[in-house]
Amino acid sequence: DSNVAPKLFVPKFEDYQKVYNEIANRLEEKDDYDDGSYGPVLVRLAWHASGTYDKETGTGGSNGATMRFSPESDHGANAGLKAARDFLEPVKAKFPWITYSDLWILAGVCAIQEMMGPTIPYRAGRQDRDVAACTPDGRLPDAAQAQDHLRNIFYRMGFNDQEIVALSGAHALGRCHTDRSGYSGPWTFSPTVLTNDYYKLLIEEKWQWKKWNGPKQYEDKKTQTLMMLPADMAIIQDKKFKEWVKVYAADNDKFFQDFSAVVKKLFELGVPFKEGTETWTFKPVNA
Ligand code: CCH
């Protein structure tokens, strides 16, 4: 009967788990990138998609995936994230029903879980928006600055001091690239596994200015292979922040619990979920 409306495909939890599995399998396969994983750069993509949120105007956030477009893709803070977006293109092609906005965040969740991090609860429902929804440059943190700047940026998103420190633990993952941010090196010795080592190293190691022609950054005195940004060092230079650094350095379970909650909050900033949207947790592939 030609009067019957075509059935809409309404994806369910199982469909999103398939997308998750596809991303996890690609992470396993494509292990010749950087330190052996696209995981860290996928986490950074999800964070930079979300961290543009402004609670006063309700603009920015992961709903929209506007980093697909210039000018946002060309913002200095987003240098290098094309690698993450390109990594996900074949996944989008295989599952065309998923929005880029939901896909980028699902990839962030998948990367954290597959890199031995905590479970990150997920809700679907982000819609892609067009170039007009691009946010202005300057909404993401500047690594050269310190605690006042961090508070300005993260309070604008609606986070408190504890949450700022919990989020910063993501720097256990990945590294800085001279051809992206200008900075150089990893924060920890295991940049493809999520641990609380970022906090431990901040407290336990002696940090000195790196002598080089690049931007001002710290190196560990002992091995001179690890790095900290001025913005990282700010969280032990500030007394209130440092209390939380100590808590997370001493207790990985507490870090995982708080990291999971704060990352879920970050990934959902400004997303207009429909009432009754279910919260899902995906089964890790590489557990
Ligand atoms: Fe970050 N981050 N980040 N970051 N970041 C960089 C890399 C990663 C700042 C600056 C930088 C968060 C917060 C901050 C990741 C996750 C998070 C780099 C190097 C700079 C610079 C980029 C390059 O050269 O490739 C500053 C400043 C802040 C202030 O708070 C938060 C929050 C998160 C996630 C929750 C991850 C992961 C990376 C590694 C990316 C990679 O490609 O290895």
Burial label, 104 (beta-carbon count in 10 A; 0-12, 13-18, 19+): buried
DSSP-derived 3-state class of residue 206 = coil
Q: Is the minimum distance from the CB of 175 to ligand 1 under 6 angstroms?
A: yes
Residue 220, pLDDT > 90, answer yes
Average pLDDT over residues 228-256: 98
Q: How many CB atoms lie within 10 A of CB 209?
A: 10
Note the pLDDT tens digit of each residue in 159-211. 999 999 999 999 999 999 999 999 999 999 999 999 999 999 999 999 999 99
Q: Exactly one of 47, 48, 75, 171 is catalytic; which is it?
A: 48
Q: Is the minimum distance from the CB of 139 to ligand 1 under 6 angstroms?
A: no
- Closest alpha carbon to 150 in 59, 33, 236, 212: 236
Give the separation between CA 26 and CA 37, rounded to whole angstroms: 10
| Top mutation candidate among 50, 75, 154, 171 for ligand 1, by most atoms within 8 Å of CB | 171
For residue 4, how far is its CA from the centre of ligand 1 (angstroms)?
51
- Return mean pLDDT, the chain: 97
Kindly list the distances between the CA atom of residue 182 and the CA atoms of 2, 76, 126, 214, 217, in Å, as whole numbers in the listed order.
60, 10, 32, 7, 10
Residue 84, pLDDT > 90, answer yes
Which residue's C-alpha comes closest to atom 15 of ligand 1? 44
Which residue's C-alpha comes closest to atom 32 of ligand 1? 167
Q: What is the pLDDT of residue 246?
A: 98
Q: What is the pLDDT of residue 7?
A: 76
Residue 286, pLDDT > 90, answer no
Q: For 142, left (φ over 0), alpha (ψ -120 to 50), or beta?
A: beta
Note the pLDDT tens digit of each residue in 98-153. 999 999 999 999 999 999 999 999 999 999 999 999 999 999 999 999 999 999 99
Q: Is the minimum distance from the CB of 231 to ligand 1 under 6 angstroms?
A: yes
Residue type, 96: P
For residue 171, how far is its CA from the centre of ligand 1 (angstroms)?
6
Which residue stretches of 118-267 are H helix?
147-157, 161-168, 197-204, 230-237, 239-250, 252-267
Q: Model's pTM, two decimal places?
A: 0.97
Asked if 212 is an active-site residue, the reply is: no
Residue 26, pLDDT > 90, answer yes
Give the separation between CA 94 and CA 247, rounded to whole angstroms: 43
- Closest alpha carbon to 233 in 266, 259, 198: 198
Q: What is the pLDDT of residue 8?
A: 84
Confidence of residue 1 (pLDDT cuts 50, 70, 90): low
Q: Quote the percentage of the chain above a pLDDT of 70.
A: 99
| Top mutation candidate among 105, 176, 177, 259 for ligand 1, by most atoms within 8 Å of CB | 176
